[in-house]
A and B are shown apart, each in its own frame.
Chain A
Amino acid sequence: MYKFVLAFRFLLKRRISYFSVFAVALCVFVVFVVMTVLSGLTADFKKKTHLWSGDCVVSTKSLVGFSYYEEFMEVLQKEKEIEAVSAVIKSYAIVKSVPGGNSSVYIDRTLEVIGIEPASYSKVTGFSEWLKYTTGRIQNSFEQSYDVNLPGCIIGIGFLFERDTNGNYIMPEQMPQIKVDVSCFPLTAKGALARAGTAVVSSKIFALSDVAQTGISSDWKSVYLPFEQAQLLCGMTGELKRANALFMKFTDGVGLNAGCSKVQFLWDQFMEDKKDLRQSELLKNVKVQSWKVYNRDMVAVAETQQALMIIVFAMMGVITVFIVFVVFYMIVSHKSKDIGILKSVGISNGNIMLLFLIFAFLIGALGSSIGAVGGWQFLLHINQIEDWLFEHFDFQLWDRELYAIGDIPNSIDWRVLVTIILSAVSACLIGAFLPSRQAGRLQPVETLRVSKL
């Protein structure tokens, strides 16, 4: 009992205890706030990337694509693990504005062409949430009313609109009427230009039917076309139609690895069945990948940031241990007389050590509680604080005109918070361990000798 009483009194009565509580609180506050914000950003980015390609992708990097995709889709659709599949054309095109619209926006760029079938694509990806103007059925997202003779297209929102300082796109109420000429280089199954010798480019004019906001780089580099139109422009029609990718979504409860393994198994069987058929060599370039692997160029950056963040915080943990070590070393030095008294009334070495460890625990618990409550309140108001700073000092953490960030993420993960608190308390105990052991081993006669006082 005396251990708790004395540890509590040491905490209350010693100014140096307040410094260590403050140090722990500050560390917990910083780690909690930064971790929440950066984890939020990473999680948000991963979610958007996941929504962009579904759970699993069967694809080839070759612009030629691969045949028999429809048959494999039928195979996949029979499996209970697969909820939906959508074939996708992926290629590149020169996209250029043509007269006839009502918008002053001028486009003349090379873009990634994504040929999709809206109904199935929206079941696999977040397509229905990306569209800004489509109000009716998603199947009609390529329909537009200002030139019914032209097929519709959907362009990444970043081409057309600017962002305000809050990161929101400044969009007119009515969708701008824009017509674009999309020119592709159609390829044969062998990879040659399909119309070599005559016109090497397939061109078609499309009318803008909507804009898409995926929240990732696709907003600045992609144009979505109806699947058949994209297939035609890329030379993938004919007797053996081709596609570049199959995006799929797994049934709820199917794990990513288990689902991908199943698809890989089916694909291997399918390839074996088709090995003697025409264009079967194209199947060899096809890979079955989870969304994380398929988007690794983007996901790896986020995961590297996350790993760096963990390293930085581990270093902070080491700093906390060191701070507590120094503070406790000083406390034990100042308390040597008290340790002598405690030993003179029969308190054991182990209990002296335990007393200082309880003291360290109280510092850790109090410091991390203060840091956690402070961090929680700060995160709760982080966007208001940033707005205020921007209003009064023109300061913004991330320039929303440059970065695809809306509000600063402040969703609190209680597991993360508990982990931080436990780590802080552990850091205090680790930091206090050696000084506490030293306290336990102090010889009472050394500390109580008159010359030492």
Chain B
Amino acid sequence: MSNSYILKTEGIYKSYRMGTAKVSVLRGVDLAVKKGEFLAVIGASGSGKSTLLHILGALDKPGSGTVSFNGRNVSQFSSRQLNKFRNKDVGFVFQFYHLFDELNILENVYLPAMAGSSIIGWLGMRNRAKKRARTLLERFGLSERLRHKPYQLSGGERQRVAIARALMNEPEVLLADEPTGNLDQHTGNDILRVFGEINKAGQTIIMVTHDQRIAERANRIVRLAEGKITNVKG
């Protein structure tokens, strides 16, 4: 049964210490995501949405509980396997884009491919990687911006670059943390349209947002409240 889900969490607990107080953010989160699904996680600010996303992407560890990726327990991954998981299996899109100002747009996009290979490996694959990065940028309407620096782009363009970077290594899951939170409504819709397109092409997406209207663009919505998941739609 578990193998039919690409990502699955069981009994995830996570708490933080704030001074002397212990704040429980996640209190037994059970969530299962199927391949090709576009899932939105909604919740109020501070409800633990981003924490859950970071745990799903192995950027953070749960206090207890398990995260399975294609049936394999992520918490049992070695450091090397975790790095490979972050590099190949998941792609992150952040609210604030997080692009490197030192690199141009094309370089920012193929950075994950470069990071996942040795020097010799990179020399062998760089033409393919650059071609893929160009293709992604063309697909998102940024073919004229390849040599530009991130600070020369608008917010919407930067977020599209961030999506292209996240898709560079063809990850099985795209994790998006408030991807439209820093954009105006029109640009935000543009990004959601992109998400819709890539989801239609088969990409699994997990997006967290505090905005119900944005979440409506997903196939399924779950709410995170008081540290637990409840189904809202789908």
Contacts and interface: CB of A to CB of B under 8 A. Distances in A.
Q: Please indicate whether A and B come from the same complex rather than being unrelated chains.
A: yes
Interface of A: 1-2, 5-6, 9-10, 12-14, 337-338, 340-349, 443-445, 448-450, 453
Nearest to A344: B92
A346 B84 contact: yes
A202 B91 CA distance: 103
A348 B98 contact: no
A5 B98 contact: no
B86 A346 contact: yes
B115 A346 contact: yes
Contacts of B102: 6, 9-10, 12-14
A343 B87 CA distance: 9
A346 B117 CA distance: 11
B119 interface: yes
9 contacts: A6-B100, A13-B102, A345-B86, A345-B87, A345-B116, A346-B86, A346-B116, A347-B115, A444-B59
A16 to B, nearest CB: 13
Contact of A346 (B87, B95, B123, B178): B87
A2 B59 contact: no
A12 B54 CA distance: 32
Interface stretch (B34-42, B106-114, B224-232): B106-114
Contact of A341 (B83, B98, B178): B98
Given A1-B114, A347-B115, A445-B59, A450 B50 contact: yes
Contacts of B140: none
B100 A445 contact: no
A443 B51 CA distance: 13
Interface in B161-188: 165, 178
Given A6-B100, A9-B102, A337-B98, A342 B115 contact: yes
B114 A2 contact: yes
State the majority secondary structure of interface residues on B.
helix
A345 B112 contact: yes
Contacts of A6: 100, 102-103
Contacts of A343: 59, 86
B138 interface: no
Given A2-B114, A343-B59, A348 B101 contact: no
Contacts of B59: 343-344, 444-445, 448
Interface residues of B, number: 36
Interface of B: 50-51, 54, 57, 59-60, 79-80, 83-88, 92, 94-96, 98, 100-103, 107, 111-112, 114-119, 122-123, 165, 178
Contacts of B115: 2, 342, 345-347
Nearest to A13: B102
A445 B83 contact: no
| Complex A-B, nearest 5 residue pairs according to Cβ-Cβ distance, in ascending order | A346-B87, A9-B102, A346-B86, A1-B122, A2-B114
B74 to A, nearest CB: 13
Contacts of B85: 346
Contact of B111 (A10, A337, A345, A448): A345
A247 to B, nearest CB: 63
A348 B79 contact: yes
Contacts of A344: 57, 59, 86, 92, 98
A445 B111 contact: no
Contacts of B123: 1
B210 to A, nearest CB: 12
Contacts of A453: 96
A206 B111 CA distance: 89
Contacts of B87: 345-347
Given A1-B114, A448-B98, 16 more contacts: A1-B117, A2-B114, A5-B107, A5-B114, A9-B102, A12-B102, A338-B98, A343-B59, A344-B92, A345-B165, A346-B85, A346-B115, A347-B83, A348-B79, A443-B60, A444-B59
Nearest to B116: A346
Contacts of A445: 51, 54, 59-60
Nearest to A348: B83
Given A2-B111, A346-B87, A448 B101 contact: no
Contacts of A10: 102
